[in-house]
Structure 1
């Protein structure tokens, strides 16, 4: 009688719990929703193994002992912070990003050869190495000035290392360059000196311009003085050539302040003109 009650009470509850457990176990992970930008491969470990057919954008059901491997098919960006020794033996930290994705038609080969964690296994170490190798050929100043060229060098080097790995690269970007405090201090000092040199060059150019203007003014003044002297000399020469006795007698005759006495005697037959001041005339009277 007690055995019958156990089966009808506690036994039924245990069977019910077991059924719920089995149902939950069976339902867990028995379907995968593959969204746009993803692709998947079926994995049947007990039967056919990995399936080559690519699964896309749908809801897929499978037995609990099977599985589906998911891969992103959209471009995905991965960032790395890499310590780099530059060509001039300076250590800087470079934050670089690589944008890549699996080759859609080669996801089956990617799963067999590498697996879904292909970035950690293959891309990441090769990416960091490519960043160090590429930047070691540049001086610290050139890295910041030639960022596009540096990015291109890294992309080319990484592309060669990942050839045949079923991964395609879209771009490599230098996102940030971090300098240590001593380097920043050196850069600031260099910039300060460059600014001082530029200021000195500016002041020297101004001084040269002022000197040139002074010279031009002095030369112009000297030329003006020469021209004026030459003009006076020519005038004096001209006057001297025209200064005759007759001219002097005429000027004396035309002077209203002079008292003239005409004496009809002269070597040239003209009247001789004498200038007698008025004071002398009064004293004689």
Structure 2
């Protein structure tokens, strides 16, 4: 077998080295990611630039550290104390993401483990601070939305200089000790029954008032009607009724001015 010429060997070696350099120098940053460049032979982290999605060529002795920069979430169950010292469990989720323009600072000052080193302690401290302002009853019944917003405010303040953006906090569940939960449920049930009783009582009172007003109105109407029915009016009404009866074919005899009807006509002989 013939030996390769020295020029061919050097060319082959050069191509291999070039391929290695190209592979080492080529960086592809995927969608939803960003990169931080570490310059090994220079000043370390490039704090001035955040490298976005796409293909990048870097010096083979440098390194590109890639971070996810789309919105992320972390869920946890935290045991915290209420205002009266009772332990409750808060089950929540936090949505967050690194600040894109500050990613080099985040990498240099906090590192790749920033979620466990910075974010988680801030969430835990905020939850303890906020939940500690409320009683178990408030936590169980009506304060969940308020708690979410207050925890969000606390976390955002804590991380405002940490290059982490917190977008939302969701409190999914608040678990109380079984005895406390049962006591609160009984109290809420009793309050609901009391409200229902008050509603029925108020409705009955209004109905009684309506009936009283209706009866008083009828009494006034009857009083006015009785006062207006004089003897003369009654006599005229009786004459009108008698005339209508006289027109009937069944009427036989009409006696005018008889009986005890105050002089009203009397009809006899009806069949």
Measured against the shorter chain, the TM-score band is 0.5 to 0.7
* 1:199 maps to 2:199: no
Give me the whole-angstrom Cα distance separating, in 2, the residues matched to 1:51 and 1:39: 14
Give the drift of 1:121: 0.7
Q: Counterpart in 2 of 1:116? A: 112
| Number of residues of Structure 1 aligned to a counterpart in Structure 2 | 212
Q: Counterpart of 2:76 in 1: which secondary structure?
A: strand
Asked if the contact 1:44–1:66 (Cα under 8 Å) also holds between the matched residues in 2, the reply is yes
Q: Select the residue among 129, 135, 141 that pairs with 1:139.
A: 135
Q: Counterpart of 2:50 in 1: which secondary structure?
A: strand
Give me the whole-angstrom Cα distance separating, in 2, the residues matched to 1:129 and 1:229: 83
Asked if the contact 1:41–1:50 (Cα under 8 Å) also holds between the matched residues in 2, the reply is no
Q: Counterpart in 2 of 1:104? A: 100
Q: Counterpart in 2 of 1:161? A: 158
Q: Counterpart in 2 of 1:82? A: 78
Q: Tell me the alpha carbon deviations over residues 235-262 of structure 1, each in whole angstroms, 9 at most, x when there is no partner.
A: 6xxxxxxxxxxxxxxxxxx9989xxxxx
- What TM-score, normalized to structure 2? 0.62
Q: Counterpart in 2 of 1:212? A: 209
Q: Counterpart of 1:176 in 2: which secondary structure?
A: strand
Give the drift of 1:194: 2.1
Q: Counterpart of 2:111 in 1: which secondary structure?
A: coil
| Unmatched 5+ stretches in structure 2 | 1-16, 232-255, 260-271
Give me the whole-angstrom Cα distance separating, in 1, the residues matched to 2:225 and 2:45: 109
Give me the whole-angstrom Cα distance separating, in 1, the residues matched to 2:221 and 2:155: 76
Give me the whole-angstrom Cα distance separating, in 2, the residues matched to 1:153 and 1:81: 17
Q: Counterpart of 1:54 in 2: which secondary structure?
A: coil
Q: Tell me the alpha carbon deviations over residues 6-40 of structure 1, each in whole angstroms, 9 at most, x when there is no partner.
A: xxxxxxxxxxxxxxxxx9xx89x956532121122
Q: Counterpart of 2:160 in 1: which secondary structure?
A: coil
Give the drift of 1:74: 1.2
Change (3 A) 1:223 1:103: closer
Give the drift of 1:213: 4.8
Give the drift of 1:216: 4.2
* 1:93 maps to 2:93: no
Q: Counterpart of 1:55 in 2: which secondary structure?
A: coil
Asked if the contact 2:45–2:108 (Cα under 8 Å) also holds between the matched residues in 1, the reply is no
Asked if the contact 1:151–1:173 (Cα under 8 Å) also holds between the matched residues in 2, the reply is yes
Change (3 A) 1:231 1:195: same
- What TM-score, normalized to structure 1? 0.59
Which of these two proteins has the greater Rg computed from alpha carbons? 1
Change (3 A) 1:224 1:49: closer
* 1:40 maps to 2:35: yes
Q: Counterpart of 1:42 in 2: which secondary structure?
A: strand
Pairs within 5 Å for 1:178-193: 178-193=175-190
